[in-house]
Structure 1
């Protein structure tokens, strides 16, 4: 069982609330999303492991058990080409759960006409393997869901 932590503070919502069918239809995998508080902050690693992929707007952390978690910061934020994001770690780094990886400002994302909602996805997981999904207000570092 892997406890997956909320990478940002905000309101936990289902993936169906994400305004992108790739996430809302579960094409990437099961998980949850967070509608973040609209203030600058740090995005933390949802699990302990190694940063497998790191882009300013998204990253994947793979745990020692081989399970990967994708954190995507906002929708269509790849178009920003890193503007508004600050990397606090590097691809290949070993991170602990709750360690800051990226700094960003969700209000700035929203002001630019994009959704700041953050999908958190269990990669290569079956939908029924993701349980105990949080609902409502979460702080960064709170448990978001469990991956059985």
Structure 2
């Protein structure tokens, strides 16, 4: 059982509330999403493992059992070309669960006309069970869901 932590502080909601059909219909995998609190914050690794992908606005950590967890900071934020995001570690680095990876400000994303919602997805989890998904207020680094 892999415990996946919340990468940001905010309100946990279902993936169906993400304004992007790829995430909302769980095409990339099951998971949940967080409506982040406005203001500067650091997004943390939801699991420990190898940081296999690191973009300014998104990252994937490969945990035990080759389980990849995707965190996407906002929707369509790739259009910002990295503006408003600061990477705190390098790609291909071993990271610990709860380790800060990216500094950003969800209010800045909103001011640019984009959704700051943060999908947290269990990649390639077809047939796997995602359980105990939290809803409501969630602190950064708190348990978000379990991946069996």
Taking structure 1 as the reference length, the TM-score comes to: 0.98
> Could you tell me which residue of structure 2 aligns to residue 63 of structure 1?
63
> Hey, which bits of structure 1, 4+ residues long, moved more than 4 A?
none
TM-superposed CA distance for 1:65, in Å, is 1.8
Please list, as runs of the form range in 1=range in 2, the aligned pairs for 1:1-148 lying within 5 A after superposition: 1-126=1-126, 129-148=129-148
Q: Find the aligned partners of 1:21 and 1:72 in 2 and give their Cα distance.
A: 14
Q: Find the aligned partners of 2:51 and 2:129 in 1 and give their Cα distance.
A: 22
1:128 to 1:66, Cα distance in 2 relative to 1, 3 A: closer
Q: Find the aligned partners of 1:50 and 1:89 in 2 and give their Cα distance.
A: 12
- Equivalent pairs counted in the alignment come to 148
RMSD, matched Cα: 0.8
Q: Find the aligned partners of 1:120 and 1:12 in 2 and give their Cα distance.
A: 10
TM-superposed CA distance for 1:64, in Å, is 2.9
Q: Which moved more, 1:75-84 or 1:124-133?
A: 124-133
Q: Deviations over 1:100-140 (max 9, x none)?
A: 00000000000100000000000000365111000100010
Q: Find the aligned partners of 1:127 and 1:44 in 2 and give their Cα distance.
A: 27
| Structure 1 unmatched ranges of 5 or more | none
| Structure 2 unmatched ranges of 5 or more | none
